[in-house]
Structure 1
């Protein structure tokens, strides 16, 4: 593991907002479907963990209404003004190291968070502890090791270059402590945490304009690290970005594993 264990995709970088918008376009519909599955309703108290962009917290706030509560937390809350305008509480919070915020919550949700958190076991325990008895935990994380190619149809040199750069990106993630096979373990981990009614599914786009936007922003965000580690040259990165802009690549994402379960009724005191 590399010496620098900070989050590779820093929210303060200029490309972060573009990534948030692309992730919302790609995955919000799936996330909201899972919220509907667990029965979210008016008056629910919700904790959005590692919120990043504002779209999920804003949707939750609209759904739970004025009688509900939505708390959005992250290590970096530089996006907070956009979320707070929708009546969302914003709190700087490190889910792996800080005690859970005051609850209890009817719903706790984290998307693309725990895969990057070194103290992910402690984070998951804290999220479960924050639930009311009968409350739901929904955790969604990518599993890049399950489908490692950004171009599953690797039929030419442009696709081969894209996949080689994606391999370099995954190496940078591992150096920062990311667990690239975490998503597939979520159902077991939720059961081991004592949750019941555990289910899971997986979703990933094969090609989409939002995939192009996400890949462009991601590569631009990590290009200096790719070059510094000898994983790509500036010329290769420029060629890859040009291939994306020309619309010649069918870009996929890593599978998003979504798992959900509920804290048993009568399971200990409420927080």
Structure 2
């Protein structure tokens, strides 16, 4: 499960995973390990270079803004915003500001690049947030959006050959059910190319990535299940015994755990 770790549960009803929980740091690290190389590949491809002005929306953790600051150099500008900036280092080599992209005016730009990963699906005012990001771009500027699509690949274990794998997939279905009950759009990722085109962007492209198995997938599954266990049991979607069994199966290292595909879409604002 990939979620925006820059939004906490107290902010709005649709977000399940609270940054303040002890497992959040483990989730940050695992998401960065899984998806930072994908993000960096896309940001490199759109041409991020010395002197660019970049806005990282819903940054959550420091990996991407730090990379952008290194790429854009002293002549560039990198602004990292989130509704929870507590995870940002005090001595960051970039600007940090608390900002709600769904309800507040975009920060002063314009920007050569606006990027958001695992953010839009959790913002109730999604249309307003997207409009704000496009408005903040200079003519010719690039927007890169990345979001998960759990409905596209709903399994935890693709190779469901035994009881441990069947249990993993059943608990993943329970987690999806929790998200759906809270109004999350589990098929959001696939809509990104259309949303970019409807926002007036040109040269729109997209791709998808998901790991089949890796230590980071295992770490992410462990942290996510621990964060959701009380809600899974309260909702009658799993028992404590089942969750303990699944956590032991994860710890054994014998589960090939995968995540929802991360869909990346990018486009250019006309002009410039």
Normalised by the shorter chain, which TM-score bucket?
A: over 0.9
Tell me if 1:54 matches 2:62: yes
Q: TM-score, structure 2 length as denominator?
A: 0.93
Residue pairs, 1:144-163, within 5 angstroms: 144-163=150-169
Question: Which position in structure 1 is the counterpart of 2:253?
Answer: 247
Query: 1-side partners of 2:59 and 2:22: how far apart?
Result: 17
Tell me if 1:114 matches 2:120: yes
Question: Which position in structure 2 is the counterpart of 1:70?
Answer: 78
Deviations 1:218-249 (CA, angstroms, capped at 9, x unpaired): 11111111111111111111110100100121
Of 14, 18, 23, the residue aligned with 1:15 is 23
Question: Which position in structure 2 is the counterpart of 1:101?
Answer: 107
The Cα of 1:6 is off from its aligned counterpart by: 4.7
Q: TM-score, structure 1 length as denominator?
A: 0.94
The Cα of 1:11 is off from its aligned counterpart by: 1.2
Deviations 1:48-86 (CA, angstroms, capped at 9, x unpaired): 1111111111111111111111111111111022xx533
Tell me if 1:86 matches 2:92: yes
Query: 2-side partners of 1:85 and 1:203: how far apart?
Result: 32
Query: 2-side partners of 1:175 and 1:53: how far apart?
Result: 27
* Structure 1 residue matching 2:142: 3-state secondary structure: strand
The Cα of 1:12 is off from its aligned counterpart by: 1.4
The Cα of 1:109 is off from its aligned counterpart by: 0.4
Tell me if 1:260 matches 2:258: no
Question: Which position in structure 1 is the counterpart of 2:34?
Answer: 26
Moved over 3 A (4+): none
Unaligned residue ranges in structure 1 (runs of 5+): 267-271
CA RMSD of aligned residues (A): 1.1
Paired residue total: 261
Query: 2-side partners of 1:178 and 1:50: how far apart?
Result: 17
Query: 2-side partners of 1:124 and 1:62: how far apart?
Result: 26
The Cα of 1:176 is off from its aligned counterpart by: 2.7
Of 137, 140, 144, the residue aligned with 1:134 is 140
- Contact persistence 2:213–2:257 (CA under 8 A): yes
Deviations 1:94-125 (CA, angstroms, capped at 9, x unpaired): 11111111111110000011111111111111
- Contact persistence 1:108–1:136 (CA under 8 A): yes
- Contact persistence 2:14–2:184 (CA under 8 A): no
Unaligned residue ranges in structure 2 (runs of 5+): 1-11
